[in-house]
Structure 1
Amino acid sequence: MTAKINAARINAALGPVAGEVTELLGSLGVDPALWQDGGRAVRSPVTGEVVAHVAEASAADVGAAVERSVAAFHAWRTVPAPRRGELVRLLGEELRAHKAALGRLVTLEAGKIVSEGLGEVQEMIDICDFAVGLSRQLYGLTIASERPGHRMMETWHPVGPVGIITAFNFPVAVWSWNAALALVCGDSLLWKPSEKTPLTALAVQALFERAAAAFGDAPEGLSQVLVGGGEVGAALTDDARVPVISATGSTRMGRIVGERVAKRFGRSILELGGNNAAIVCPSADLDLSLRGIAFAAMGTAGQRCTSLRRLIVNEGVYDELVPRLAKAYGSVTIGDPRAAGTLIGPLIDKQAYEGMQAALDKARAAGATVHGGERVAVAGAEEAYYVRPALVEIESQVEVVKHETFAPILYVLRVGGLTEAIALQNGVPQGLSSSIFTNDMREAETFMSAEGSDCGIANVNIGPSGAEIGGAFGGEKETGGGREAGSDAWKAYMRRATNTINYSRTLPLAQGVSFDVEG
């Protein structure tokens, strides 16, 4: 049964976006020539209107940018790491000072509600703080040597220019996860933002340039933005002078990037698809579970890589939880993401909407019951794509359930026990994030053990989304295996050298090898 739309809870008054975008870009210091004189049209998902025309890079432009980046790297790698951290600290201060404007621009360009737009900028500030501390903690190891009079150790060195390819759904935060770490590690930056969200990238670059000016001696070309489509991405990915490519996006994109980088023996940090699940056990606090599920599944209009897409509910609590969840789905506030009280803004574009409808059609053909999923009409936004989130009750994990549809669709499956639940959760190609709602210690520990979740993130009594920057972020299987942000993710932006120093007057060889010569 399709949920009835509560029209009174849908905001129906949208103002023009283009004028507000112009004002924000001006306040953030973006050169008008970058977004007024170009050929690529940028549309806001809030109304569907064109808000800018950005200048695009060519493949030749990419080559020149890489050359500048290499020169910048050669200068930047000689700067002491704590000094490099000072630049990142200044960037964090610029982000603090312009949090409201940049967060608002994220809302207008990506369609996120106000708190999520601001939260994304806060995430940038947080990773800058983390990286500043990291700049004094790029530790190596001292390793026991089997040879007397010898010391063995490892040292870490800057690796070179880092290419960063980001997706529309986190247009600035994902860049910062990579950029803040790469900068303190001694690397230069080349950023290809999504062609759907280039304006926020131009704004961040303007703030970086302010921080660099305050820093005083940052090399020219240390951070560059390359706006464009597939041609730009291919040129960046294929350039052997860029030893590391960090790419966030679909599994399809990751297969292309990973293969091209591997052909030239480069290094890839891949953050790809996530088909994330939550298990609800009989002992779960259902009030807590309902809140955690609702945000994880509906937040950002289901356009997070960590969005909850599969809900695996024990049969003992299914009939109590799922009707309550369906009620929440039917009453959630949809509309202008700038409006107070709105919880769900628009999908990014028509393609996302059509992908959602195609998936729902496949689910219905498989016998599923679909609650919601219909397009919501919002006055003044006829070219935008607002939808009611879809709750899909389905009997088995058919093929459409195993595929990640980047939209607010939550498939609900009934199970008998934890072993079956974990097998269902792990039975998809993706392995990003996962969660379990339980008050049973054994269930929680089993879920986090080697026989439990096979994902890079495994949470207990919270949903799969909302990761903090202190932990390494990333997943397994078709998610790509990359790690960004906290823990020891910084090592991906450096090269390791193992060093052995002989401070004796003899030359014993390892493994007892004897090789004496006379000279």
Structure 2
Amino acid sequence: MRIESFLKGEWIAPGEGAREIESAVTGEAIALAGGGVLDMAGSVAYAREKGGAALRALTFHDRARMLKALAVYLNERKEQLYELSYDTGATLSDHQFDIDGGIGTLFVYASKGRREMPDAQVYLDGGLEQLGREGRFMGQHVCVPMQGVAVQINAFNFPVWGMLEKLAPAILGGMPVIVKPATATCYVTEACVRMMLESGILPEGALQFVAGGVGDLLDHLGAQDVLAFTGSADTGLMLRRHEGLLRNAVRFTAEQDSLNASILGPDVGPGSAEFDLFVKEVSREMTVKAGQKCTAIRRIIVPDAAVAPVIEALSERLAKVSIGDPRDAATRMGALVSASQKADVLERAGIIGQEAELVFGDVAGIAGPGAFVTPLLFHCADPRAAERVHDTEAFGPVSTVMGYGALSDAVTLANRGGGSLVTSLITRDGDVAREVVGGAGAWHGRIYINNADSMGESTGHGAPMPHMIHGGPGRAGGGEEMGGIRGVKHYMQRVAVQGSPDILSAVGGRWVPGAREVKGPAHPFTRRFGELSIGETLHTAARQISLEDIEHFAKFTGDTFYAHMDEDAAARNPFFPGRVAHGYLLLSFAAGLFVEPNEGPVLANTGLDNLRFMKPVQAGDSIAVRLTVKAKTPRNAEYGEVRWHVTLTNQDGDKVAEYELLTMNAF
């Protein structure tokens, strides 16, 4: 295979000095990649001028629909990616972790983009800030797409997921992408990129691909660009020191080496469901992708009394793992990605072996042309005095068991890794969970806690989910990828906008209290989704509240709280002048004032948000309602969500309640 780069709309064949790529299974040469001189300055400009402009012209919903279309397109062709991926040493279950996981991430971001972001080009970040006494001058934080390119450098272990988990939030945020995968597995990434480009879903310039070295690419990045990196701490440090990145303040995130840990709670003993779960989790994390996962468990931290039972149970389970050709259905663990990776893993295992005893496996590896090794399980008898077991990552099926006395000791050992992507805890004890989170949270990007109650639905120690951040402090690089919309914001600039309610309404596409009201030609409930205007407002007539209303509501609903039924008791309450109307009575009467009862485009009331009661209403008071179209969000081809701002005022014009009503309206 001749692995080509795709830059400035053209495929570019490998050039002079191209690197030969070998099969992890057979050791035979299967591909050539890289070499030659690539026009990186032109590629960056092409991304900014073509891809960036095209993406920014779309709304968040437009970009979300593209992500979903890409996910569907790839899902229909994933078998082709599976077949290529076998030569990386991955088994079928490994493919599903990588390829299906990447496609699933696209689906999640597509859904979140439609559900949690507006059908607009500006994202509102947080609530309004009133900067003046009368509310005529206000502030709103918003996020807008950065006007550069997202360069994404990925590791060899996840050639598809590693790309798509970065690409999804970048495209949703409105930034074009230049993907640079690790050369060892770039042939799988290239096939996936070809599929996405052939689909015609992405606009021109939104996606480019580099096979091999990046040349002088980093020299051309500026303050509007983003560099996202996954790989070793040494490479991450080299990138952080790059003069151009420092000089131009290029936004940079890294997801690096990680000495992840798993802690067995002191409440868990052999024979319990939690003990079996712990052993299963550790074994799986050692063997999935042959341990070549940034989230794999490297340190197994268990109570002193559980060290021997854990070693015995783990060794028994690891002995059942069949190793061999990943195309063989009986194989449970395939090969490391390359002969050089095999040599590196065994060298690092030797370093760990200076402080720990090998209790399972063979540090000589498995003879033959492929990059095969056995799982290697070590036991460190004195982890408090040890150094290398806490700072050496053998990026393969290698892990070390170590004991602890007090739970605080377990937390200290977990933190000795200097920062990880994930630490897991198996416990049923809430106090244990709280102590671990409080003591270890500062050093770990994710804390995964599991027991018999949740294990049926849990995603697993080593499975980063697009809904949650994936990254960690210190040694782990300090980055926070994914995390739902948090990941999208990384590719956007937060800016504070100040102005009048009318100006903020225009900028944000959402009506702000105090902004100009629009009078519609008819009752807003008679108007279809597309006919309603932001700011369209209905003012209702007033309704007087009687004591009979209050008592009838109390008896009818069963809500006979003293503030509504006992004058003396209510008067002793510092919040009420005497008996008052129920808050929910006011909401019911408000609906009666603004609802149009006849069949029309309003299909359903789906809830209300931000309800506040500001002032009590007594018998004899009146209420009136102001109903305003605050925001509109399409949901599908048939209907969309309308968010209404509802304000209830009394006979003096004072606010007594305020909330946001949600309805589904037909197009």
The TM-score with structure 2 as length reference comes to 0.66
Q: CA 1:450/1:366 → structure 2, altered by over 3 Å: closer, same or farther?
A: closer
Residue 130 (1) aligns with residue 108 (2): yes
Aligned residue in 2 for 1:289: 278
Q: Which residue, out of 94, 119, 125, partners 1:116?
A: 94
Instruction: Please give the per-residue CA displacement for 1:211-236, whole angstroms capped at 9, x wherever unaligned.
Output: 3x2x4xx542210001122x53x523
Residue 421 (1) aligns with residue 410 (2): yes
- Are the aligned partners of 1:123 and 1:469 in contact in 2 as well (CA < 8 Å)? no
Aligned residue in 2 for 1:264: 248
Percent identity of the aligned residues?
Answer: 25
Aligned pairs, number: 468
Q: Matched residues in 2 for 1:181 and 1:352: separation? A: 31
Aligned residue in 2 for 1:221: 205
Q: Which amino acid aligns with 1:195?
A: T
Cα shift at 1:490: 1.2
Q: Matched residues in 2 for 1:237 and 1:384: separation? A: 38
Q: CA 1:53/1:367 → structure 2, altered by over 3 Å: closer, same or farther?
A: closer
Residue 146 (1) aligns with residue 136 (2): no
Q: CA 1:200/1:364 → structure 2, altered by over 3 Å: closer, same or farther?
A: closer
- Are the aligned partners of 2:423 and 2:447 in contact in 1 as well (CA < 8 Å)? yes
Q: Which residue, out of 78, 84, 89, partners 2:63?
A: 84
Q: Which has the higher strand share?
A: 2
* Larger relative contact order (CA 8 Å, sep ≥ 6): 1
Residue 473 (1) aligns with residue 462 (2): no
Q: Which amino acid aligns with 1:465?
A: G
Q: CA 1:312/1:46 → structure 2, altered by over 3 Å: closer, same or farther?
A: same
Q: Which residue, out of 363, 369, 375, partners 1:383?
A: 369
Cα shift at 1:376: 5.0
Q: Which has the higher helix share?
A: 1
Cα shift at 1:268: 0.8
- Are the aligned partners of 2:41 and 2:220 in contact in 1 as well (CA < 8 Å)? no
Q: Matched residues in 1 for 2:425 and 2:220: separation? A: 41
Instruction: Please give the per-residue CA displacement for 1:157-191, whole angstroms capped at 9, x wherever unaligned.
Output: 11121000000001111211111111121110101
Instruction: Please give the per-residue CA displacement for 1:403-429, whole angstroms capped at 9, x wherever unaligned.
Output: 222121111111112110110010122
Aligned residue in 1 for 2:227: 245
Q: Which amino acid aligns with 1:113?
A: T
Q: Which residue, out of 310, 329, 336, partners 1:340?
A: 329
Instruction: Please give the per-residue CA displacement for 1:361-386, whole angstroms capped at 9, x wherever unaligned.
Output: 333333523421335547xxx33220
Q: CA 1:455/1:238 → structure 2, altered by over 3 Å: closer, same or farther?
A: farther
Q: CA 1:188/1:363 → structure 2, altered by over 3 Å: closer, same or farther?
A: closer
Q: Which residue, out of 284, 300, 303, partners 1:314?
A: 303
Aligned residue in 1 for 2:237: 255
Instruction: Please give the per-residue CA displacement for 1:395-454, whole angstroms capped at 9, x wherever unaligned.
Output: 233232122221211111111121101100101223211011122221122222355562
Q: Matched residues in 1 for 2:426 and 2:442: separation? A: 13
Cα shift at 1:94: 1.3
Q: Matched residues in 1 for 2:401 and 2:66: separation? A: 47
Residue 178 (1) aligns with residue 166 (2): yes
Q: Which amino acid aligns with 1:421?
A: A
Residue 486 (1) aligns with residue 483 (2): yes
- Are the aligned partners of 1:237 and 1:257 in contact in 2 as well (CA < 8 Å)? no
Q: Matched residues in 1 for 2:100 and 2:36: separation? A: 29
Residue 96 (1) aligns with residue 90 (2): no
Aligned residue in 1 for 2:600: none
Cα shift at 1:119: 2.7
Q: Matched residues in 1 for 2:475 and 2:421: separation? A: 9
Structure 1: gaps of 5 or more residues: 1-20, 26-30, 505-519
Cα shift at 1:36: 11
Worse-superposed segment, 81-90 or 65-74: 81-90
Instruction: Please give the per-residue CA displacement for 1:456-513, whole angstroms capped at 9, x wherever unaligned.
Output: 0101127631222221111111211111223322110111111011369xxxxxxxxx
Cα shift at 1:238: 5.2
Worse-superposed segment, 460-469 or 471-480: 460-469
Aligned residue in 2 for 1:28: none
Aligned residue in 2 for 1:47: 26
- Are the aligned partners of 2:292 and 2:397 in contact in 1 as well (CA < 8 Å)? yes
Residue 168 (1) aligns with residue 168 (2): no
Equivalent residue of 2:494, what SS?
strand
- Are the aligned partners of 2:177 and 2:206 in contact in 1 as well (CA < 8 Å)? yes
Q: Matched residues in 2 for 1:427 and 1:67: separation? A: 44
Q: Which residue, out of 192, 204, 215, partners 1:204?
A: 192
Equivalent residue of 2:141, what SS?
strand
Q: Matched residues in 1 for 2:219 and 2:181: separation? A: 14
Equivalent residue of 2:31, what SS?
strand
Q: CA 1:363/1:42 → structure 2, altered by over 3 Å: closer, same or farther?
A: closer
Worse-superposed segment, 135-144 or 81-90: 135-144
- Are the aligned partners of 1:446 and 1:452 in contact in 2 as well (CA < 8 Å)? no
Cα shift at 1:242: 6.0
Aligned residue in 2 for 1:71: 49
Q: Matched residues in 2 for 1:452 and 1:317: separation? A: 24
Q: Matched residues in 2 for 1:92 and 1:325: separation? A: 37
Equivalent residue of 2:21, what SS?
strand
Q: CA 1:420/1:452 → structure 2, altered by over 3 Å: closer, same or farther?
A: farther
Aligned residue in 2 for 1:277: 261
Q: CA 1:38/1:207 → structure 2, altered by over 3 Å: closer, same or farther?
A: farther
- Are the aligned partners of 2:22 and 2:31 in contact in 1 as well (CA < 8 Å)? yes
Output the aligned Cα RMSD.
Answer: 2.6
Aligned residue in 2 for 1:17: none
Q: Which amino acid aligns with 1:123?
A: G
Worse-superposed segment, 456-465 or 428-437: 456-465
Cα shift at 1:193: 0.8
The TM-score with structure 1 as length reference comes to 0.84
Cα shift at 1:390: 0.5
